[in-house]
Structure 1
Amino acid sequence: MIDQLWEYLVVAGVLLVAIVAGLAAFLRPGRGGRTKDLPKPTPKPTPTPGPRPDIGDEHPTGGVDTLPPPADTAPAEPDVLEPDDVLLEEPPTPTLERPDSARGRLQRLRARLARSNTALGKGLLALLTRGGLDEAAWEEVEDTLLAADLGVDATTELVDSLRSQVAVDGTRDEATVRGWLRTDLLALVDPGMDRAVASHRVGDRPAIVLVVGVNGTGKTTTVGKLARVLVAEDKDVILGAADTFRAAAADQLETWGARVGVPTVRSHKDGADPAAVAFDAVKAGIELEADVVLLDTAGRLHNKTNLMDELGKIKRVVEKQAPIDEVLLVLDATTGQNGLRQAEVFASVVGITGIVLTKLDGTAKGGIVVAVQRKLGVPVKLVGLGEGPDDLAPFDPEAFVDAILA
């Protein structure tokens, strides 16, 4: 009985030891035993860089639109630009235009001028070379000259001279009559007038040129073309966009200047004070040591007193810095005698020193050159003979007369 009890105790002890050992092994981690399976922690994902923002994508504050690195990670290393990885492509340098030389422009355009004035030249020659120059024929000669806007005084002077020569010589030879006409017309055009446009520095300041005229004469275009004439003569030019009432005027002038590398002083505010813009342009010309400052002004009707007063104000304000050396009046040649009254009013307000005749190729009224010079006592200095950028030419009296009689 005792033996059996002892045997049970031994077996129970063995089982107890086995159970204790098993529990110990089960509870010890990393030794093949198992604890409760727990999900492994998910590693924090590393942020991947997105596409580089375009250079133009900016915050309202002006900063470039980029994302900051996560607070718990180190800043990413800056990208290394490969040779082909260009962020901003530099725009190509614009090719500046080189205007045609001003010298000889009128000769180059003589054929165009001759075509426009053919009625005057051919009409006179036809009348003077036909037989039997009676009073009726001389009246036709006068009518032809008046129709060409030569003016009454100049017409009377020319007809009297021709009648005297015909009476003395009695010839009807076309070459001889052409010679008489050339001499008399050239005298009327007056080749002795100074037709140079102010374009040289005066002491320590630039020459100041004010350009005026009525609406529709092509004034802003003329200023742009004149800048090209001066650039062709290697002058440093500043443009002043003092036409602040026509929305596109400053843009138009700036475009003309940019094509030949000439800066434009302008206001980006509609209705800005034109005198202030003109003042700033002259100031810039002095500081930049330019040769010439060209001031474009708004077109205005000569019978609008307030607008003419404003033009006088522009002149006075500019002259607080420097005298105005040249005042060019732009006239449309097709208006003929109607433009003379305009010219008189402008001359009384700002003191005209020279005339620019535009659209001279579109009219047979070449006599306006003589009429306007006699009316104002100032020379025609420039003529517009087309719509091309280099179709503004210094006026050459001999080439002009030869074109009429071509």
Structure 2
Amino acid sequence: MFSFFKKKPQPEPAVAKEASPQAAPVPAAPSAIPAIAPAAEEIVEAAPQSGEAKRSWLARLKSGLSKTSSNLTTLFVGAKIGDELYEELESALLVSDAGVDATQSLLDALKKKVRDEKLTEADQVRQALRTLLIEMLRPLQKPLVLGRHQPLVMMIAGVNGAGKTTTIGKLAKHLQAHDQSVLLAAGDTFRAAAREQLTIWGERNNITVISQESGDPAAVAYDAVQSATARGTNVVMVDTAGRLPTQLHLMDELKKIKRVIGKSMDTAPHEVLLVIDGNTGQNALAQVKAFDDALNLTGLVVTKLDGTAKGGILAAIAKTRPVPLYFIGVGESIDDLQAFDAEEFVDALLS
């Protein structure tokens, strides 16, 4: 098992560069970047941390979810088990963006558990709710597995402002910590700032960035996969332009990018990730549904859980569209993006 926090020897990196608008970059010979294909599949998840680092991460997560945590935990202080408690809990869950379906499911299961186990104390009900929430969120807790393909091609989507490009940079750094060579494709050809931002991440981490000042984002993705194949690069991450799921012509473009990636490599893309802003509430669930219908998502990344995020949206996603949640982010630091752990998340909500 590997840890995000264990530093490992890094391969000799390629110097980040940018292609001209007229031509794709000329791929280096396969020996230019040492291939580091894992001997077996590797799971990208954070191993248990110790001491200050672990406490700091959990404290930031709890702080980010403090609004929901306060609303839920205060219900059980000196409360009597009965209809009034259940009604208040229903309101708190709905306010937390858990949604009607997840809220009703939790309440039904909680009432049954209280009856079956003959619970009489409010704190026992809180512990029962904790157990049920963990059970509901557990299906989302699936790690990202490396080494299945060479290269492993990841397509990253999301609406504007979700933190997509920053997330790509953080993931690239984490992948390098797992001894993976990485290539980035700046497929957001509509926004110059996105290309510049990705290039900065590339330079910071000594990662090659395939980019064009203008042109077809699908062509950029195609060039990136071809280049990575020639170089023996382990992972390709393709950035795409932010868009709303209601912008149908742009959603169709995403489908085109995915098709073209498939032409560059038969089995690709191997991962299709959606980056979600944790503060967008039920709109996040609408995004998951729309992007999943269009692209068949393989995973999610939820960012910005360090602000006014309510947290209940994960229950709504788990109940309605349980796409694996690979990572959650609670800040801007590289270490603030961590593998999702259902038990840690629920404890941050209910402790």
* TM superposition score category, shorter chain reference: 0.7 to 0.9
Residue 249 of structure 1 is matched in structure 2 by 194
Matched, 1:199 2:146: yes
Q: Which residue of the other structure, out of 159, 169, 180, is the alignment partner of 2:118?
A: 169
**Per the alignment, in what secondary structure is the counterpart of residue 348 of structure 1?**
helix
Q: Quick one: distance in 2 between partners of 1:180 and 1:133?
A: 13
Q: Which residue of the other structure, out of 176, 180, 186, is the alignment partner of 1:235?
A: 180
Q: Which residue of the other structure, out of 97, 108, 117, is the alignment partner of 1:160?
A: 108
Residue 138 of structure 1 is matched in structure 2 by 86
Q: Quick one: distance in 2 between partners of 1:385 and 1:324?
A: 27
Residue 302 of structure 1 is matched in structure 2 by 245
Closer/same/farther in 2, CA of residues 114 and 218 from structure 1, 3 Å limit = same
Q: Quick one: distance in 1 between partners of 2:72 and 2:164?
A: 33
Matched, 1:311 2:254: yes
Matched, 1:327 2:272: yes
Q: CA deviation at 1:334?
A: 0.5
Closer/same/farther in 2, CA of residues 154 and 180 from structure 1, 3 Å limit = same
Matched, 1:286 2:254: no
Residue 378 of structure 1 is matched in structure 2 by 323
Residue 354 of structure 1 is matched in structure 2 by 299
Q: CA deviation at 1:139?
A: 1.1
Q: CA deviation at 1:129?
A: 4.3
State whether residues 153 and 269 of structure 2, in contact with CA within 8 Å, keep that contact through their aligned partners in structure 1. Answer: yes
Residue 113 of structure 1 is matched in structure 2 by 61
Deviations 1:289-330 (A, max 9, x none): 111100000001111111111111111111112121000011
Residue 22 of structure 2 is matched in structure 1 by none
Q: CA deviation at 1:234?
A: 1.4
Residue 147 of structure 1 is matched in structure 2 by 95
Q: Quick one: distance in 2 between partners of 1:214 and 1:391?
A: 21
Matched, 1:389 2:334: yes
Residue 337 of structure 1 is matched in structure 2 by 282
Q: Quick one: distance in 2 between partners of 1:201 and 1:157?
A: 36
Which amino acid is 1:133 matched to?
I
Which amino acid is 2:331 matched to?
G
Which amino acid is 1:250 matched to?
R
Which amino acid is 1:306 matched to?
H
Q: Quick one: distance in 1 between partners of 2:256 and 2:288?
A: 18
The gaps in structure 1 that reach 5 residues or longer are 1-100
User: Which has the bigger relative contact order, CA under 8 A and spacing at least 6?
Assistant: 2
Query: Aligned residues, how many?
Result: 300
Which structure would you say has the larger Rg? 1
State whether residues 102 and 229 of structure 1, in contact with CA within 8 Å, keep that contact through their aligned partners in structure 2. Answer: no
State whether residues 93 and 312 of structure 2, in contact with CA within 8 Å, keep that contact through their aligned partners in structure 1. Answer: yes
Q: TM-score, normalised on structure 1?
A: 0.69
**Per the alignment, in what secondary structure is the counterpart of residue 248 of structure 1?**
helix
Q: Quick one: distance in 2 between partners of 1:381 and 1:247?
A: 28
Deviations 1:266-303 (A, max 9, x none): 11x3x311011111111111111111100000001111
Closer/same/farther in 2, CA of residues 170 and 194 from structure 1, 3 Å limit = closer
Q: Quick one: distance in 2 between partners of 1:398 and 1:132?
A: 26
**Per the alignment, in what secondary structure is the counterpart of residue 360 of structure 1?**
coil
Q: CA deviation at 1:134?
A: 3.6
Please, which moves more after superposition, 368-377 or 181-190?
368-377
**Per the alignment, in what secondary structure is the counterpart of residue 335 of structure 2?**
coil
State whether residues 130 and 172 of structure 1, in contact with CA within 8 Å, keep that contact through their aligned partners in structure 2. Answer: no
Q: CA deviation at 1:121?
A: 3.3
Q: Quick one: distance in 2 between partners of 1:195 and 1:379?
A: 6
**Per the alignment, in what secondary structure is the counterpart of residue 362 of structure 1?**
coil
Q: Quick one: distance in 2 between partners of 1:186 and 1:150?
A: 14
Which amino acid is 2:146 matched to?
S
Q: Quick one: distance in 2 between partners of 1:216 and 1:140?
A: 34
**Per the alignment, in what secondary structure is the counterpart of residue 192 of structure 2?**
coil
State whether residues 239 and 281 of structure 1, in contact with CA within 8 Å, keep that contact through their aligned partners in structure 2. Answer: yes
Residue 23 of structure 2 is matched in structure 1 by none
Q: Which residue of the other structure, out of 115, 128, 142, is the alignment partner of 1:180?
A: 128
Which amino acid is 2:142 matched to?
R
Q: Quick one: distance in 2 between partners of 1:230 and 1:103?
A: 14
Closer/same/farther in 2, CA of residues 142 and 194 from structure 1, 3 Å limit = closer
Q: CA deviation at 1:132?
A: 3.2
Percent identity between matched residues is: 44
State whether residues 302 and 345 of structure 1, in contact with CA within 8 Å, keep that contact through their aligned partners in structure 2. Answer: yes
Q: CA deviation at 1:201?
A: 4.8
Closer/same/farther in 2, CA of residues 256 and 118 from structure 1, 3 Å limit = same
